[in-house]
């Protein structure tokens, strides 16, 4: 008989926490999960899901324009922002219910409130204490603001999902995927967008060709990209906001949205009191099994700042439950994880960038293709699809694949299986393409880049 109230207590009902709770409970562990906001965490409520719904909405602008080349006559159109947000909210509420049913159906108890650890086995939630043999920290991350004068007038992506009105002019600050995605979302919905990034080129960490191609395509769409630019001051005006830049210039807009990074949401949880180790940004330090230096306390997802992707948090949470309650020690695999940026056009990527590959391997072969998709021969749109394969010269393995173009995220999922299975370039070449598709280009590239 356990001396604790629970076998497994999870802090945070986001993607990783829900999966861990559900699997642990299904294995017979007495499980509780505490959440102070909403079930599903960032992804379901203010991340992947609502963002993708807004991406779909923004893409119709292109569809309407492209239709003329195919003989359609499309009249005047406008965006009903309030209806879009209401429909989005309805879907999110449905998903909240799905997550509740998943947890309760598996036998996990949901506790609503704000939690913190008072010792290594005790969790306090709004004044009530619970004890647990094992604890999982799955509290995710939270947008981070820099210390810029007037920053209180800015919003983050969290608030962007709940704006009362669609702005006419928007400034997006940041160079990561959230900033890039929202720049093209707002632009597609008819907003005049300026994106500011303090570096030479956005999407640091992605393949250089991908970064350059997307910048070119966004500029074709008249998104105002300004690199080596940073905000020195934000002021509220009767008509919106005024932004002063570090070069002395000024911009005016209706809103300014910061997407300059997210930090692990670990402050105030009492983790240090329980003996956990955090790094300089507050991420919980864990081993390959997601175990902290306190043997019975684990952490998964964005609060560990390893690979901050929803499917990765789910895999990490599942692995913890398998390790603890199914006698199946499981390590999540962080190698060759595919990802997408749902910009317009999309990015899909898996494996190493060219820069990473050249550092890791003695010699690599590079294959590139840039072409106008069949659709745009009639639409008239000046958009190029870009694809790139990186191959280890010695083994012939494809160690990186990168794409910019329509449905890149959908296409890269299939390619990621091949990369995960160590497929060779010869095997790619032996695969018959599906014609006519853009994806067939990935199995027809034969000419190496010098």
- Whole-number Cα distances in Å, 121 to 62, 271, 286, 320: 55, 11, 18, 17
Beta-bridged to residue 401, according to DSSP, are: 350, 389
Residue 34 has which token pair? Answer: 């505490």
- SS3 assignment, position 89: helix
Least Cα distance to 9 among 128, 98, 142 occurs for: 128
Check if the beta carbon of residue 321 is closer than 8 Å to that of residue 131. no
DSSP 283: P
27 a catalytic residue = no
- Strand 364-371 and strand 385-392: pairing? antiparallel
> Between helices 15-26 and 310-325, what is the axis angle to 10°?
30
Pairwise CA distance, residues 402 & 340, whole Å: 10
- SS3 assignment, position 107: coil
Check if the beta carbon of residue 62 is closer than 8 Å to that of residue 40. no
Query: 394 Cβ partners below 8 Å, 6+ apart?
Result: 361, 362, 363
Query: 446 Cβ partners below 8 Å, 6+ apart?
Result: 367, 429
From the candidates 121, 144, 402, 435, which is the catalytic residue?
435
- SS3 assignment, position 249: coil
- Whole-number Cα distances in Å, 268 to 5, 15, 37, 114, 382: 23, 21, 16, 10, 51
Query: 132 Cβ partners below 8 Å, 6+ apart?
Result: 4, 5, 6, 7, 8, 9, 32, 121, 123
Least Cα distance to 146 among 237, 234, 226, 228 occurs for: 234
The order of strands in the sheet holding 240-245 is 231-237, 240-245, 250-253
Strand boundaries in 323-418, DSSP class E: 339-341, 347-351, 364-371, 385-392, 398-404
Beta-bridged to residue 350, according to DSSP, are: 401
Least Cα distance to 116 among 244, 257, 276, 253 occurs for: 276
Check the CA dihedral 333-335-336-338 and report its sign. Answer: positive
Active-site annotation, residues: 435
């Amino acid at each position: 008989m356990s001396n604790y109230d629970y076998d497994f207590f999870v802090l945070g009902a986001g993607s990783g926490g829900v999966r861990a709770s559900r699997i642990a409970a299904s294995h017979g562990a007495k499980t509780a999960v505490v959440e102070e906001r909403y079930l599903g965490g960032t992804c379901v409520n203010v991340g992947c899901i609502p963002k993708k719904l807004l991406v779909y909405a923004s893409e119709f602008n292109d569809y309407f324009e492209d239709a003329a080349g195919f003989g359609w006559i499309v009249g005047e159109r406008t965006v009903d922002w309030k209806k879009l947000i209401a429909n989005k909210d309805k879907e999110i509420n449905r998903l909240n219910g799905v997550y509740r049913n998943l947890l309760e159906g598996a036998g996990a108890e949901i506790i609503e409130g704000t939690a913190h650890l008072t010792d290594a086995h005790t969790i306090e939630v709004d004044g009530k204490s619970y004890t647990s043999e094992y604890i999982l920290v799955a509290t995710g991350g939270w947008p981070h603001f820099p210390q810029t004068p007037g920053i209180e007038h800015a919003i983050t992506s969290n608030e962007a999902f709940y704006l009362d009105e669609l702005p006419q002019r928007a400034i997006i600050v940041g160079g990561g995927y959230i900033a890039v995605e929202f720049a093209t979302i707002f632009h597609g919905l008819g907003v005049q967008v300026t994106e500011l990034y303090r570096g030479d080129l956005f999407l640091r960490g992605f393949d250089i060709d991908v970064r350059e191609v997307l910048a070119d395509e966004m500029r074709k769409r008249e998104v105002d990209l300004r690199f080596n630019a940073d905000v020195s001051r934000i002021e509220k005006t009767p008509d919106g906001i005024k932004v002063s830049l570090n070069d002395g210039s000024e911009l005016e807009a209706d809103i300014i949205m910061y997407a300059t990074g997210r930090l692990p949401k670990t402050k105030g949880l009492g983790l240090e009191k329980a003996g956990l180790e955090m790094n300089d940004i507050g991420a919980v330090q864990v081993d390959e099994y997601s175990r902290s230096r306190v043997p019975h306390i684990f952490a998964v997802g964005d609060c560990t700042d390893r690979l901050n992707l929803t499917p990765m948090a789910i895999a990490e949470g599942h692995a913890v439950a398998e390790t603890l309650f199914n006698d199946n020690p499981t390590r999540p695999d962080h190698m060759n994880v595919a990802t997408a940026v749902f910009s317009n056009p999309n990015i899909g990527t898996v494996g190493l960038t060219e820069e990473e590959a050249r550092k890791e391997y003695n010699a690599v072969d590079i294959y590139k293709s840039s072409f106008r998709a069949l659709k745009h021969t009639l639409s008239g749109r000046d958009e190029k699809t870009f694809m790139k394969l990186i191959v280890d010269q010695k083994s012939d393995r494809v160690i990186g694949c990168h794409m910019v173009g329509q449905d890149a995220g959908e296409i890269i999922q299939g390619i990621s299986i091949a990369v995960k299975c160590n497929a060779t370039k010869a095997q790619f070449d032996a695969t018959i393409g599906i014609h006519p598709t853009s994806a067939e280009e990935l199995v027809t590239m034969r000419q190496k880049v010098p």
